[in-house]
């Protein structure tokens, strides 16, 4: 790759050298052309009607006029070229160059001091000799060309244009175009216009800053299909007004037109930080709730790209806060809460300055997606592996699905990772895209942690900004109980984000519907107990039996404790088989979560459809402290399951007996039909798991709690 780059650089250098040589040759040809023109003029003068002796007269006359430059002989007027310099001039010589001077009187003094330093002398030299030095820099040549237009010296103007055409570059073509248009230098203007068209996307706001409003407006209409978008993007409010005046009969529909990147002009104004332009657009009827192809509003898009200025402006000007994006069903509050948080080690003021810089027209030249979701979530997976370790190796890793079809593995080998059947990361990235359909996939094994991290990859608010916007959304009427396409509320998303401060703000909303379940029957408390995604708290799940729930020994509540204190149902049934949260804790060896539920008053003898109690689950997986807590809380160790099962341990088949286990807790796990996964096929017996006997088969009906 480095060799190819070096070769390309060498080729560019050679082409630049060739271009420089061509420009030098062009200048030489221009000088030769000028000389030939002068010789032709002499020849034409010598070939007049009185040819005899006329050639010598014409030649002598031209030579004589050239010698009169700044001579007092025959001088009848003066020319002031600067405050200190006054040149002698001759009316008949000036009049022969331009009709503009035919009306001057003898003894008059012409004031050319405002033409620029050295420009007056250069004009006088050309008037008397026809010579024009090409060694002057571009700025001087532009002043000379302007002076030629002012003094109506058409031949000098044309000569300057020929020289300047060879000096036009991408860097100066806009400035030269402006000057050429002002002085009607059509040859130079057309050349610059062609170069501008070829490099239109390379220009910034600064390149157009010196152009007048009408001229720039005409250029935008000529060069772009969306002149209003171009005017806003380049921060030219005067051009915006010209557009609104010309197209007032087509308002407001023309204000909601989107450019090739899907942005209405109001969004462009907000992204570039132009509040006054945004106010003007709203006053003229721009739709603040305009929807893109996916049904996302401007507020959805602003929140998703981490744009505090745009989000705050939209909220303060009546943007809809509960509008759901049609593909994902997410509200702006969903998008905000699932969003990532910027590095808080940087000063907030520094971040604000950075945010203002990113709203410049150059950065928002639409060379990027508004949501900046990474392809294939590569960054998300890298971050997930850095936090949780490699998926390979590691003792105690689960290698199975539970009976409800949930993947109870996570990437670190610690129990509790969950795989929703729908990839929420891909769902979130669809906001602002052109995708219109969602198809859940049952084979997706993406963990909850990856769901949370990847769905948040678009936003980059600081913690303080995020809290401020959450509060502002709630104050404007945002409802955190609204469910998206996967039936997740903002509380589900808030749990997965792990942001305690944001979640505390959500808890202030009334009413709270914490019992709402997502499409897989999971409540917000389920995610709080079994998700290891939160960066603000340690996980509640573990394969080591000594871990207790976080927050129990601290002064501040954890997210599960906040949910429970605000009315979350600790006895919520998860899935179609009637498992309670305590059942799941035992099965996933989530001892800390189970202890918290027991301390919070969860029912310890609730039966699922197989007749199993939480004690069955905890005993099967060998979670000793949870088993002891359940027994202490009154769980019946004699409870029996409803069905006969065949169980295997550590991959070896074991034939079950038909005898009852009287006086001991049953270690069997029941099946719900031949098509379901049999939980008594114990996936948890790994090499480092406690050694257990093959569970016996229990027959008979369930014992009353």
Last residue of one domain, picked from the residues 70, 104, 134: 134
For residue 496, the model assigns a pLDDT of 86
Under DSSP, the state recorded for 248 is: G
Query: Per the domain annotation, does 124 fall within a domain?
Result: yes
Kindly write down the DSSP assignment for every residue of 309-369, as one continuous string: HHHHHHHHTT--SSPPPTTT---HHHHHHHS-B--TTS-HHHHHHHHHHHTSTTTTSS-S-
Counting Cα atoms < 13 Å in the Cβ hemisphere of 544 gives: 6
Q: Which domain holds residue 130?
A: 20-134
b (16+ CB within 10 A) / e for 153-163: beebbebbbbb
What H or E segment, with its residue span, contains residue 80?
strand 77-80
Q: Is residue 582 part of a domain?
A: yes
Query: Are residues 593 and 540 in contact, defined by beta-carbon separation less than 8 angstroms?
Result: yes
Distances (CA, A) of 3 to 6, 9, 12, 13, 15: 5, 10, 14, 15, 19
In a domain, 269, yes or no: no
Bridge partner list, 549? none
- The residue behind tokens 């057309």 is 190
How many Å is the Cα radius of gyration of the chain? 41
Last residue of a domain, one of 604, 625, 641: 641
- Whether residue 580 is contained in a domain is answered as yes
The Cα–Cα gap between 240 and 231 comes to: 6
Distance from the Cα of residue 609 to its chain's centroid: 48
Structural domain count, the chain: 2
Low-confidence residues of the chain, pLDDT below 70? 1-3, 41-56, 341-459, 532-556, 643-705
CATH of the domain at 511: 1.25.40.20
CA–CA distance, 409 with 687 (Å, rounded to integer):
16
Q: Which residues pair with 86 in a beta bridge?
A: 80
Secondary structure (3-state) at 505: helix
243 within domain boundaries = no
pLDDT, position 531? 74
Which residue, 439, 442, 654, 623, is CA-closest to 546?
623
Which pLDDT score is estimated for 46? 56
pLDDT value of position 55: 54
Q: What are phi and psi of 95, to 5 degrees?
A: -65, -30
Query: Of 614, 641, 668, which marks where a domain is finished?
Result: 641
- Whether residue 208 contacts residue 216, with contact meaning beta carbons closer than 8 Å, is answered with yes
CA dihedral 28, 32, 38, 41 (to 10 degrees): -140
Contact 342, 462 (CB under 8 A): yes
Residue 40 belongs to a domain with what CATH number?
3.30.710
> How much is the pLDDT for 244?
95
**Does any domain span residue 146?**
no
Helix and strand counts by DSSP (H, E) for the chain: 30, 8
Nearest-10 Cα torsion for 518, 524, 525, 531: 90
User: Looking at residue 644, what is its pLDDT?
Assistant: 53
Let me know: does 661 contact 670? Beta carbons within 8 Å: no
The CB-side HSE value for 1 (13 A sphere, CA atoms) comes to 0
- Indicate the pairing of strand 652-653 with strand 648-649: antiparallel
Own/partner long-range contacts of 274-277 (Cβ < 8 Å, ≥24 apart)? 274/232, 274/235, 274/237, 275/313, 276/237, 277/232, 277/237, 277/240
Structural domain includes residue 414: yes
Q: Is the residue at 524 inside a domain?
A: yes
- Cα(241)–Cα(476) distance, integer angstroms: 32
Distance CA 444, CA 441 (A): 6
Q: What is the pTM of this model?
A: 0.65
Predicted local distance difference test score (pLDDT) of residue 556: 53
């Amino acid at each position: 790759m480095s060799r190819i780059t070096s070769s390309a650089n060498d080729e560019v250098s050679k082409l630049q050298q060739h271009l420089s040589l061509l420009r030098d040759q062009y200048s030489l040809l221009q000088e030769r052309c000028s000389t030939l023109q002068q010789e032709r003029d002499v020849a034409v003068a010598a070939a007049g009607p009185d040819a005899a002796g006329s050639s010598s007269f014409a030649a002598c006359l031209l030579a004589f006029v050239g010698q009169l430059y700044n001579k007092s002989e025959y001088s009848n007027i003066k020319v002031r070229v600067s405050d200190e310099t006054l040149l002698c001039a001759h009316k008949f010589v000036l009049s022969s160059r331009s009709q503009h001077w035919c009306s001057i009187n003898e003894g008059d003094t012409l004031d050319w001091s405002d033409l620029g330093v050295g420009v007056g002398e250069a004009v006088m030299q050309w008037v008397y000799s026809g010579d024009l030095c090409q060694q002057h820099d571009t700025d001087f040549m532009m002043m000379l060309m302007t002076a030629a237009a002012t003094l109506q010296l058409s031949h000098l103007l044309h000569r300057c244009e020929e020289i300047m055409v060879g000096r036009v570059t991408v860097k100066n073509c806009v400035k030269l175009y402006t000057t050429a248009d002002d002085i009607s230098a059509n040859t130079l203007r057309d050349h610059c216009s062609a170069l501008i068209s070829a490099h239109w996307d390379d220009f910034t706001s600064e390149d157009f800053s010196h152009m007048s409003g009408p001229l720039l407006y005409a250029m935008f209409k000529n060069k772009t299909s969306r002149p209003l978008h171009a005017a806003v993007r380049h921060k030219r409010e005067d051009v915006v007004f010209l557009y609104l005046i010309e197209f007032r009969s087509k308002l407001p529909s023309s204000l909601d037109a989107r450019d090739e990147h899907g942005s209405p002009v109001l969004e462009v104004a907000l992204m570039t930080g132009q509040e006054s332009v945004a106010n003007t657009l709203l006053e003229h009827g721009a739709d603040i709730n305009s929807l893109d192809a996916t049904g996302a509003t401007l507020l959805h898009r602003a929140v998703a790209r981490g744009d505090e200025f745009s989000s705050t402006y939209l909220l303060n000007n009546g943007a809809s806060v509960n509008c759901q994006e049609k593909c994902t069903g997410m509200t702006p509050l969903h998008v905000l809460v699932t969003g990532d948080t910027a590095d808080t080690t940087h000063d907030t003021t520094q971040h604000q300055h950075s945010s203002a810089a990113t709203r410049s027209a150059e950065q928002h030249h639409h060379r990027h997606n508004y949501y900046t979701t990474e392809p294939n979530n590569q960054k998300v997976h890298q971050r997930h592996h850095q936090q949780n370790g490699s998926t390979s190796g590691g003792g105690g890793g689960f290698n199975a699905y539970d009976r409800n079809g949930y993947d109870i593995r996570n990437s670190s080998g610690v129990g509790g990772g969950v795989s929703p059947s729908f990839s929420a990361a891909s769902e979130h990235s669809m906001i602002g895209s052109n995708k219109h359909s969602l198809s859940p996939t049952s084979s997706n094994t993406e963990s909850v942690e990856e769901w949370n991290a990847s769905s948040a990859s678009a936003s980059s608010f600081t913690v303080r900004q995020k809290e401020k916007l959450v509060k502002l959304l709630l104050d404007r009427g945002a409802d955190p109980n609204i469910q998206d396409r996967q039936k997740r509320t903002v509380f589900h998303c808030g749990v997965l984000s792990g942001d305690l401060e944001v979640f505390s703000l959500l808890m202030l909303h009334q009413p709270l519907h914490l019992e709402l379940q997502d499409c897989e029957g999971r409540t917000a408390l389920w995610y709080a107990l079994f998700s290891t995604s939160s960066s603000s708290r340690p996980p509640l799940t573990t394969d080591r039996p000594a871990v207790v729930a976080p927050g129990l020994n601290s002064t501040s509540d954890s997210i599960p404790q906040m949910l429970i204190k605000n009315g979350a149902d600790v006895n919520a049934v998860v899935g179609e088989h009637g498992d309670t949260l305590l059942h799941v804790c035992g099965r996933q060896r989530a001892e800390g979560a189970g202890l918290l539920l027991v301390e919070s008053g969860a029912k310890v003898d609730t039966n699922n459809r197989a007749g199993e109690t939480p004690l069955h689950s905890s005993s099967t997986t060998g979670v000793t402290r949870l088993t002891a807590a359940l027994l202490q809380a009154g769980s019946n160790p004699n409870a029996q399951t409803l069905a006969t099962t065949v169980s295997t341990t550590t991959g070896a088949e074991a034939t079950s007996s038909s005898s009852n286990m009287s006086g001991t807790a049953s270690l069997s796990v029941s099946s719900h039909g031949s098509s379901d996964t049999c939980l008594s096929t114990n996936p948890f017996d790994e090499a480092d798991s406690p050694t257990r006997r093959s569970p016996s088969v229990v027959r008979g009906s369930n014992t009353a709690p």
